[in-house]
Each structure stands twice: as structure tokens, then as C-alpha cells.
Amino acid sequence: MASIRIGLVGVGKIVRDQHQPVIAANSDFELVATASPHSSLPGIASFRTLGELLSQGPEVDAVAVTSVSAVRDDIAREALAAGKAVFLEKRPCTTLSALDDLVATARSGKLALFASWHSRFAMQVEAARVWLARHPPERLEIEWREDVRCWHSSEDWIWERGGPGVFDPSVNAFSLLTHIAPTRIFLNEAELFVPANRQTPIAATLDMADHAGMPVTATLDWRAEDSQTWEIRARTQDGLLRLFDGGARLEIAGQALPDTEVGGKYFEYTGLYRRFAELVHARVLDVDERPLRLAADAFLIGRRTPVDPFPG
């Protein structure tokens, strides 16, 4: 079977750290072009925009959209209109309406569309999901703390209207929650802590539940300068499950599941591109809006609490 010729739109850190090396190691794909107004990759045909790539560049079968989320909707729509399969970095779209539109477009054109939640492909996530299906949780707790200066230094778009603020990393937690929880989760209340000089929250607390009233809480904070935490805890009658390090490590009733070095730092994106190849060949969709919906619901009903200005 011929390789899938793929173009990358946006050439930032995540492309250099993950997309490019993972594509190079996957025989299902051939990276033939990039589109970015400011950056390029050595030895790969480069264009300023997707439009230029499509009209002047080599033929592509698929496009991975890794640019900032504010422009991702239009780029994905342009790629689908040109008959290309589309891989969307997280967050897949700025709004749920835009995502619904992309889904409808892909379905009508019988094109692959992948809303990639990379944390779901972390090493121990599937084991956690299987165990919770057999040992229903009585309570779920999310603790997601990191230092924004470490990960998004000087990226003002995150703090502007339409930006995600602390929900940029926390949507990863929501993607894990909605995948491993055996029941659907709904938001009841939220408090958003917004710096006086910013538009989006630097921290948040969420109270959620399922239909049966099982409590689900989330503590999200982008001000963790000393220690960072990416953890979901599930309290069950058979012990405590801890899925931590963003899904890379798992502990059940005090017993740690063994780690594996297979895939190493490329483990998540190797799984993502394996899944995308399946979708391209089958011309089907894999789009789950629930992580984005929880974040959107928090903005919709959350109480805004002003906090000290954040200098950046």
C-alpha cells in the first residue's frame, strides 16, 4: 500500500519534538511539505500558507493542523474542502460549533477527520480504563498543576479572548477523564480565577458528577512553580487508582504497574499516527467533543473571580 503523503500546517515546537520524528519512523506516511509563515523543516518543501501548498506544492493526501487554535478552524475547513484527510492537534477547534461543522463536512465528503487527544494514547491509560470498567469509581478527582512559564512563556494568545488559559493543559485531563470514566460526566459548578490583566483563567476549580451523582472534582492551576502534577485519582471499593504523569504511570491499591520503555518519549504520538493511518485508509472519523465541551461549559457557567495580575 502506498504511503500517505502528508503536509504539516504550522511548524512549531510540537512539530519538531513529536510530529516530524514520529512521521519519519512510520512507514504509513511520507512527509512531503509544510506550511508556515515563519518556519520550515530542512529538506522539506515549504510554503507560507496551506493555500500555497495546495496550489503550488507536491500532492498531499492528508494534512496535520498544528497551528494555534485561533486559526485552526479555517485551515481544517480549507483542507477538507480540497478533499484532504485532516489530523487536528488538541484543542481541535475554537468552538464546538466549528467542530460540528468540520464533522459534517468530513462526513459529506467521506474524508478522514481525527480530533487527536494525545493524552489518551499515554502508556497506562487503557489499563486504567479497563480496570475502572470492572471496579466502578465512587469518586473521581483531577489535580492538574503546572508552571505556565515553563510551557508557554511569552505566548500571549493563550491569555486573549478565545484563548484557553489554564484549560490548554487541563483539556488533557478532561480527555483522560471522559475516556477512562465508565459513565458520562457533567459539569455542575465552576470557579475561574482570572488575572486582572488577562482575559482567560490562570486557575479553576470544577464540581462535576455523573447521572447517579458520583462526585468528580478538578483542581486546575497554572501557577505551580515548585512541583507539577498531572493526576487523576479514582476511589473505589477495591482501592485507590492513581493515573499520573499525564497517563504515563498507574498505581492501583498501592501497587505500581510496570513501566515500559517501548516508544519512549514518542509513545503518545506513535499511537496517534497509527490511529490516523487507520482512519485515512477507512475514510472515517474519530472525533470526541466531550473534553472540549467540559472546558466550554466551564466558561459558560463558571463564576469569574479576579486575582492578581499575571506579568507573563
- Could you report the per-residue pLDDT of 53-109, keeping only the tens digit for each? 999 999 999 999 999 888 899 999 999 999 999 999 999 999 999 999 999 999 999
Instruction: Indicate the domain borders of the chain.
Output: 4-115, 120-257+295-307
Domain 4-115 indexed as CATH 3.10.20.30: no
Identity at 122, one-letter amino acid code: A
Q: How many CB atoms neighbour CB 209 within 10 A?
A: 17
Statement: residue 225 has pLDDT above 90: no
Domains 4-115 and 120-257+295-307 share a fold: no
**Dist. CA 220–CA 299, nearest whole Å:** 14
Statement: residue 151 has pLDDT above 90: no
Q: How many CB atoms neighbour CB 198 within 10 A?
A: 18
Q: Could you tell me which of 252, 28, 271, 269 has the C-alpha nearest to residue 128?
A: 252
- Residues 71, 92 contacting (CB under 8 angstroms): no
User: 226 falls in which pLDDT band (50, 70, 90)?
Assistant: confident
pLDDT, the chain, mean: 95
Q: What is the pTM of this model?
A: 0.95
Residues assigned a catalytic role: 90
Average pLDDT over residues 104-117: 98
Q: Give the CATH H-level superfamily of domain 120-257+295-307.
A: Dihydrodipicolinate Reductase; domain 2 (3.30.360.10)
All three cell numbers of 309: 495580575
Average pLDDT over residues 253-267: 78
**Dist. CA 251–CA 235, nearest whole Å:** 12
Check residues 196 and 266 and name the one with the higher pLDDT. 196
Statement: residue 261 has pLDDT above 70: no
**Dist. CA 68–CA 75, nearest whole Å:** 11
